[in-house]
Amino acid sequence: MKRRKSLAALTLTSLLAVTALSGCGSSGNDNENAAKATNTNKANASTNTSTEDATNKNTNAAANTTADATNATNTTNAAKLEGKVVFWSMWSNAEPQAKVIDEAVKEFEAANPAVDVEVKYNGRDITKLIKPALESGEQIDIFEQDPEKALSNLKDHVLKLDDLLAQPAIGSEGKSVKDSIIPSLMDWVKSLSVPAGLDEGYYAIPQQPYAVLFFYNKALFAKAGITAVPQTWEEFMADCELLKQSGVEPVTFDDAYRDLFIGGYLGSAMGSEWTDSLVKDKTGELWKDPIVLQFAKDMQTLEAKGYFSKKIAGNKYPAGQQDLAIGKTAMYLNGTWLPNEVAATAGPDFQWGSFQFPTVANGNGKGGQQGLSFGAQGLLINKDSKNANAAFELVKYLVGKKAQDGMSEQALAIPATTDSKWPAPLAEAAVAFSNAKVNMPWGFGIDNGGDFSTGTVIPAFMELATGKLTPEKYVAKMAAEAKKFYGGK
């Protein structure tokens, strides 16, 4: 225990050091590159400015196929591409994803020496920064965002990619970029366009797909004598009992993911549309649906039987997921990024398993395992980019097989390309992806009530999960609170 702690502290400090060092390193490189690029740019400036014009796409594509037989990487990009491409990434430069991106950029620059690439690692702050930056006209050619968020918030800034997607992919022989990526993700991205008020088409290239699943410690499951993952709520409860008897805490979660547990249950029973209408119900009557009482009773059972970790009420992210990583707790409901996040604590020998939220009885048939809360991050191109062709060429490297293999191996992320191997800790997640027919939003819709969700739904659930509210009182409270909250509107 003690050793773990000092190990964690050491990891933290070394991470900090690495951040600081790599920060210096990359800025140094940037300057170097910038200096190099300005020279080459000056030399080429007079010869070609056509890449700026979208209508020249076709001529460029034609040129692509004929030019550059000597290209070392055997890809079909044109040496004509030039200028500057600015890429805003959602990773921070200490994360393994950034290293994979750096390698892809290096390879791109080797093949396109006239293009100067500037990668800005914003980290998750990009969500706050991107909109004002795009609107103020800052040069950003490629940016990384959750496609769902990006299309609804930034729809005036996204470039339709349908034509570009037909270009051949890098590293996947004979396939277009579009065909090299997992089809269900492509379909999902396409399905977002019309609801966002755009023409139907592709505006984002999905990558880093994720799904919300229960992650479990296989060793603890085996020790408890559990042979198969639970499919139904009854099996789930039975497994909890076995785990508890074997001396481990069955389930835990952190404050940041409380919503997943509520949404997971209700979404599994009724589907996310119902959950959405539940938190937006102005009368409060929907909370009196028998399924809510059933949910409350099941949560009470989890609490009463000690299946929840004693610390769920106080867990501050990432305290709970660390408990999973050190083997104190058996299950944790989270996104597929979890094995990567806790890799330093869990160590290479941790046996990861995952399963979908169990099916819940007495639902309306719209939930179950056909619905999965999945998504992906997306690469998007700025509509006003002056260098869209070069930008797309870079994107091809970023979603090329080599980079995606790198994401899988180094960042334990699910590769977007169809023919890449999934990282071992996520092997079982493939089952959920193949079950899924319906995409459910984050939190299965439970967060859609805005202030009502954060201010009432989640705190009331915590009272339930810590045994401070009986199921009946929970239902009454929720119905009354909903009516009160929406009464003023």
CB 257, min distance to another protein, A: 10
**407 versus 457: smaller Cβ distance to another protein:** 457
Q: Does 61 bind another protein (CB under 8 A)?
A: no
Q: Which helix (H) or strand (E) holds 37?
A: helix 2-44
Convert 171-203 into a string of H (helix), E (strand) and C (coil).
Answer: CCCCCEHHHHECHHHHHHHHHCCCCCCCCCCCC
Select from 336, 356, 385, 448 the one that contacts another protein (CB under 8 A). 448
Number of helices (H) and strands (E) in the chain: give both, helices first.
21, 10
Q: Residue 303 CB, nearest distance to another protein (Å)?
A: 13
Segment interacting with another protein, rule: CB under 8 A, options 34-42, 55-63, 91-99, 131-139: 131-139
Closest CA to 417 of 113, 209, 244: 209
459 belongs to the binding site for another protein (CB under 8 A)? yes
Closest approach of Cβ 419 to another protein, in Å? 31
Q: Nearest distance from residue 318's CB to another protein, in Å?
A: 8
**Closest approach of another protein to the CB of residue 278, in Å:** 14
Give the C-alpha separation, 15 to 12, whole Å: 5
Contact letters for another protein, residues 323-352 (x by CB under 8 A): x----x------------------------
Nearer to another protein, 306 or 450 (CB): 450
Q: Which of 141, 139, 138, 158 is nearest to 149 (CA)?
A: 158
- Nearest CA to 214 out of 317, 105, 329, 122 is that of 329
Residue 95 beta carbon to another protein: minimum distance, rounded to whole angstroms: 18
Helix axes of 96-111 and 401-410: crossing angle, nearest 10 degrees: 160
DSSP H stretches of helix in 45-95: 57-66
Whichever of 347 and 459 has its CB closer to another protein, that residue is 459
Contact between 315 and another protein per CB under 8 A: yes
Q: How far is the CB of 35 from another protein (least distance, A)?
A: 32
Nearer to another protein, 225 or 459 (CB): 459
Spatial distance between the Cα atoms of 75 and 96, rounded to a whole number of angstroms:
26
268 with 359: CB under 8 angstroms?
A: yes
Contact 315, 253 (CB under 8 A): yes
Q: Specify the stretch interacting with another protein by CB under 8 A; choose among 59-67, 338-346, 399-407, 435-443.
A: 435-443
* 1 or 228: CB nearest another protein: 1
Query: Among 106, 288, 316, 437, which residue interacts with another protein (rule: CB under 8 A)?
Result: 316
Binding residues for another protein restricted to 150-189, rule: CB under 8 A: 152-153
Please tell me whether residue 113 adopts helix, strand or coil conformation.
coil
Residue 399 C-beta: closest distance to another protein, Å: 23
List the one residue out of 191, 161, 190, 188 whose CA is nearest residue 176.
161
Measured in Å, how far apart are the chain's first and last C-alpha atoms?
Answer: 52
Among 146, 239, 393, 428, binds another protein (CB under 8 A): 146
Shortest spacing between CB 276 and another protein, in angstroms: 8
3-state secondary structure 382-431: ECCCCCHHHHHHHHHHHCCHHHHHHHHHHCCCCCCECCCCCCHHHCCHHH
Burial of 153 (0-12, 13-18, 19+ CB in 10 A): middle
- Which residues 212-271 are close enough to bind another protein by CB under 8 A? 255-256, 259
Q: How many residues bind another protein (CB under 8 A)?
A: 49
Residues 122, 377: contact at Cβ < 8 Å?
no
**Cβ 136 to another protein shortest distance, Å:** 6
List residues binding another protein (CB under 8 A): 1, 5, 127-128, 131-132, 135-136, 146, 148-149, 152-153, 255-256, 259, 276, 310-311, 313-316, 319, 323, 328, 441-443, 447-456, 458-459, 462-463, 466, 484-485, 487-489
